[in-house]
Structures are given as C-alpha cells and as structure tokens.
Structure 1
Amino acid sequence: MVLPSWTDEKFGTMKRAGLWLVTVIGEGSVFTKDELRQAFPGVSQIDRRMRDLRDHGWQIDTNREDVTLEPFEQRFVRQGEPVWEPGKGRTKSAVPITATQRRDIMTKDGNFCRSCGISGGQTYAGTYEFAQLDIARRQVRQPDGALKVELVTECNRCRVGGRQLTADPAELLAHVRQLGRLERRVLAGWIADDRRPFSTVERLWADYRSLPEESRAKVRQVLEAEGTD
C-alpha cells in the first residue's frame, strides 16, 4: 500500500509527523529535535504534535526511556495506529498525565518501581546505570471483567525492557560460596529444577505490589473489612 506524502498539508500536523517518521526516519532509527523542526518549519508546537502519536500506540523514546540517547535525540521505536487513514487518529487512547498527577502517583507508590522495587537514582545491580522513575499505564481487569487503565510507577528498564548486560558467572559463584550449607542446598534445588517455587503468600504479595495504587487501595479496604482472623 502506497502511503500518502508527509508533505501533504491536507493532513493535520500529527498525521504528517507520523508519515514523516514512517517514510523518512524508519522504525528503530534516531532523529533529533532540529531535524524534526527543519522538516516542519513554521509549525508551532511540533514537538507536542509528535508526542500526541503516543496516545495512538506509537512508541517514540527520549533519553528518559532510553539512556543511550542524548537529550536532543529521540528514537522512533514502533508505529502504532495508522492515524492518516480515514476514521483513524481522532480519539486519543489516553489522557496526558499532568505533573501533579505524576508527583501524587509516585508518592503513593513509595517513590520506587512497583515492578522491581528499585528507587529513582539507584543503580541497577552490576551496572553504572541509574534508574529513572516514570508513570506507566497498566490495564487492570475490573470485577465485571472490563479492563481499566490505571497509573503506576515503574523504572525505565521495566517500562522499555532490559538492557544488554554482561553476565559474570565467576562473580555469581563467589557469592554462592558465601552462603550457608542450608541456603546452598535450597539454591541448588532451584537450579536443578530450573525454577524457584514461590509460596502462595509470596506470589500474592508480588501481584499486590505491582498493582497501581488505585487497585492496591481496593485490596487493602477489602482485607481491612474482612479482618485477618
């Protein structure tokens, strides 16, 4: 299918920006803010119009999501909805998160990633990479079966996937040798089975911890109402 030209001004700025990314930049490629502004001279708030594509499933990373990028660079990771097609690109799939909402959610989430537990500014184990916290949208199934988007704090790694790390078996073994006999026996069992069995309570705690605050509050309310006896 032949795509429309990104220079066709009958399309709105957001749709033209999407076509420019697809036909000029290409998925996986990096572009700069200057390149974007040069492509759309005289267009006010072109940066914001491009960010609007994220509300339609497009992934465009900055150095907040991809620490390999410079502050003036962005990476076009993945195309979302073809917003230039008739009937597409009209209704936003998500409402922008305000700075106040971001602060409130992070405070309620304890200022750490609800998925892995790392705090903002803390380094990932075995790296010099600092964790950056941001707000992620998570689909939460409601009692009636419907899905609702709730907001939760996650680090940049949990949001966009793991980085390429260098494994060090020798260092791991050095730590293993520091374990007591019982701990080493337990670990050896997990390794032999290639899995770690979690108790029901541990699994439930992990599931609870990763919930957005709105859902965590509902769980707490039910448990408080029912008691622990």
Structure 2
Amino acid sequence: MKRAALWLVQIVGEGNTFTKNQLREAFPDVSQIDRRMRDLRDFGWKIDTNREDIGLEAHEQRFTQRGASVWEPGKGSRDRITTITSSQRHEVLMRDGHKCRSCGIGPGEKYAGTDITSQLDVARRVVRLPDGRRETQVVIECNRCRVGNRELVVDLRQVLAQIAKLPAIEKRMLSAWIEQDGRTFSAVEEVWAAYRTLPADAREHVRDALA
C-alpha cells in the first residue's frame, strides 16, 4: 500500500489517470495490488473509477487527491476496523436493509434522471462517541454517497443533544420513524423537494402558479 502511494505521487501525479495494466506492470511482484491501492482510500486518498467519474473508461482510474503520507512512521496504521470479509459484508448489508443509509437507493437501481445504476458497498465512518472518543464504524452506502461522505465525522453527542431539545410529541414521532426505519412524506413535502431542484426560471413558474 505504501509503495502504491509513492508510485501515485512520484509517477502518476495528482489529477492524472492510469490504467490497471500500468499499475500491475509497476508492481509485478505484488499480488492483489489493486486491493492494496484501494486500501489507500481508508487514509483519505481519492482514487476515482468510472463509477465516480463517468468520463473514465472501465480500465482507467484517476488519482484525484492525495491523502495521509502513509509511508511515514505512524501514518499508515489502521483503526480498529480493517479488512471486511465477505460474510461480514453480508451481515452489514442485511442489517442495513440492502439500502444506502444516506440516500435510500437499492442495489442496481438507477439514480433519478440518469441511466447510472447504484452499487452498494461497506463504507467506514468515523463516529465521535458521547465520551469524546472516536471510533470507526461501518455502514452501507452507494458509490455516490460513499465518495461524498468519505471525510464525514458523525458527532453522536450533537445528535443526542438535538434529540434532548425536541418537544415530547416530536420525540414520539422520531421514535416511530426509527422503529419503522423510514418515514412517509406528505404531498406538500414532495412538491417542496421537487421545487428545490428546479432552475431559477422554472422556480418562477411555480411562484406564478401559487400567486
């Protein structure tokens, strides 16, 4: 993994593309070099495939952003969660209902307005616990959300503090949503969500219609 990081920095260069064959030719003595390269994502490195960058071919990847200097002492050590086995991945998928926990899309479903289909996988998320400690936990996310949330740190103390401020009726409502692991939206909420996505000229038509 450390050798792959140095190869990206010294040979490929940030912002440039490389192919799977180039990677394997650079490390003929390393088995599963593709996996070693993917491990860098756990240390803040952004390496895009055609799932994240539709301009790339299937055999191409882009070194988008450098992360931690993993070749330096102490910077390449892992958190408590390291490799996820296939059985563990299956358990997490079952636990999270085979849905992306961020956007709710299922495996193989198309994103709205596109022909791009989702792919679900295990994502690592840093959680700040109520006692102040940080812990890496796992969650199911789609390829889009996994990229966007890579640097996210969840502050559980803040979430609990917000809950404590809710009036009793809203706490009961929240409890029901949590129990169902979902909520339904009213017609006006769905229209509002659609309105927020409209360009400025289209929003003016909506204002005129309401007036």
Q: Within 5 A, what are the aligned runs for 1:6-21?
A: 14-21=1-8
Query: CA shift at 1:122, angstroms?
Result: 1.1
Structure 2 gap segments, 5+ residues each: 150-168, 182-211
- 40-49 vs 17-26, which moves further: 40-49
Q: Within 5 A, what are the aligned runs for 1:1-229?
A: 14-85=1-72, 87-93=73-79, 94-161=81-148, 200=170, 204=174
Residue identity opposite 1:46 in structure 2: I
- State whether residues 17 and 62 of structure 2, in contact with CA within 8 Å, keep that contact through their aligned partners in structure 1: yes
- State whether residues 25 and 31 of structure 1, in contact with CA within 8 Å, keep that contact through their aligned partners in structure 2: yes
Matched residues in 2 for 1:20 and 1:102: separation?
30
Residue identity opposite 1:125 in structure 2: A
Among the aligned pairs, what percent are the same residue? 56
Query: CA shift at 1:153, angstroms?
Result: 0.9
Count of residue pairs brought into register by the alignment = 159
Given the two structures, how large is their TM-score scaled by the length of structure 2? 0.63
Matched residues in 2 for 1:57 and 1:203: separation?
37
Residue identity opposite 2:62 in structure 1: R
Given the two structures, how large is their TM-score scaled by the length of structure 1? 0.58
Matched residues in 1 for 2:174 and 2:55: separation?
35
Matched residues in 1 for 2:172 and 2:134: separation?
25
Secondary structure of residue in 2 paired with 1:91: coil
Q: Which residue of 2 aligns with 1:190?
A: none
Deviations 1:28-62 (CA, angstroms, capped at 9, x unpaired): 32211111122233343332332332333322233
Deviations 1:69-117 (CA, angstroms, capped at 9, x unpaired): 43322222221111233x1444223401111111111111111111111
